[in-house]
Amino acid sequence: MPDPSCICNLHCSLQLAPDPYPLKLHVHLDGAIKPETILYYGRKRGIALPANTPEELQDVIGMDKPLSLPAFLAKFDYYMPAIASAPVAYGSSQVRCRIGAAAAGLRHSHSSLGSEPRLQPAPQLMAVGDLTPDEVVDLVGQGLQEGERDFGVKVRSILCCMRHQPTWSPEVVELCKKYRQQTVVAIDLAGDETIEGSSLFPGHVQAYEEAVKSGVHRTVHAGEVGSAEVVKEAVDTLKTERLGHGYHTLEDEALYTRLRQANMHFEVCPWSSYLTGAWKPGTEHAVIRFKNDQANYSLNTDDPLIFKSTLDTDYQMTKRDMGFTEEEFKRLNINAAKSSFLPDDEKTELLDLLYKAYGMPPTSSAGMLLSEPWAVGISSKMPALPPSHGQCQGCVPTPWLVAASH
């Protein structure tokens, strides 16, 4: 019987199948938690929740039809106080199964090769918990490392800054630096892109400048609902190496051409883009253009708890409605692996596994990454498999473990 205290969205006894695995670069750890887990810790900590059963809670938290991005982000307010910084949720003997498996990409999934889960620090939630942002990052890192060993996957974490809280960002980058040897590989900027000029808030700029200086990898949620100008700010000011979503880059053909030539990686989340209103049905999705142009991109789940999805949802959507083929899935997975933030030796190992799984001869350039840490063009690691193996992986929020948004 599943342990309700286990944060991962699968049974504790689940074993990964030795098949070609999907990779995921864009999934938020706090957006991939079981409803049972939320209820368990809510009751344990005496925090009121808007429902009493997992099914009822899923109905409240989950989305069945498109909402605005701010409305989607508000979903996290329902349950984050119940799980944020709870020591029992992050420091118990279940850390391996709870965090290791979840970040290994396992919400109702069976196999996965790697993931870069996102974790988000939220000081204001620490008031209702017992752990500091530093302690949360440390414990999550321990869980991810154990998950790597036990499940045979590659898992790295990304810490998220939030657009509406630039004063947090300097602490986030310091945590990235402190825990770079314990799974943390990058910094991210997430949240509401409609906050005008938020990419240029001094706290964010300062944090990203320090990341460049210190060799911390960088990704930014940009161009999901924000304009191409937000993408340009992420690239030119924040020196991002990957783009979370990036759909509205296409509004500026010159910018898109520049990024494509630089091999910029787009972390695409098709089903998420439908439910958040980032993509309007009846119009051509940006991922179709990316596919036709053979751009560098991956497919991801984003927040499977709220979107009631798995990676298979995104693969089926693109295959059924957008003409994607098995060959394209292989191509985007390989590009995702090349664009991951893994060290070169581990990247080569990961690529060798993919080439072998796909029956493809490895190339001499397999696993090579851009030479300069601030170069515009590093892609993300999110290899996906054929639809039958669809699964999502975890994106780690930031140190305060709040809802990591887009």
Task: Return the active site residues.
Answer: 224
**Which DSSP category does 198 fall into?**
G
Indicate the burial class of 365 (C-beta count within 10 angstroms; 0-12, 13-18, 19 or more): exposed
- Judge whether 133 and 175 are in contact, CB under 8 Å: yes
- Long-range CB pairs of 234-238 (<8 Å, 24+ gap) are 234/189, 234/199, 235/259, 235/264, 235/376, 237/199, 237/200, 237/205, 237/208, 238/189, 238/199, 238/204, 238/205, 238/208
Report whether 349 contacts 339 (CB < 8 A).
no
Name 332's Cβ contacts closer than 8 Å, sequence gap at least 6.
Answer: 297, 298, 299, 382, 383, 384
3-state secondary structure of 186: strand
Q: Which helix (H) or strand (E) holds 270?
A: helix 270-275
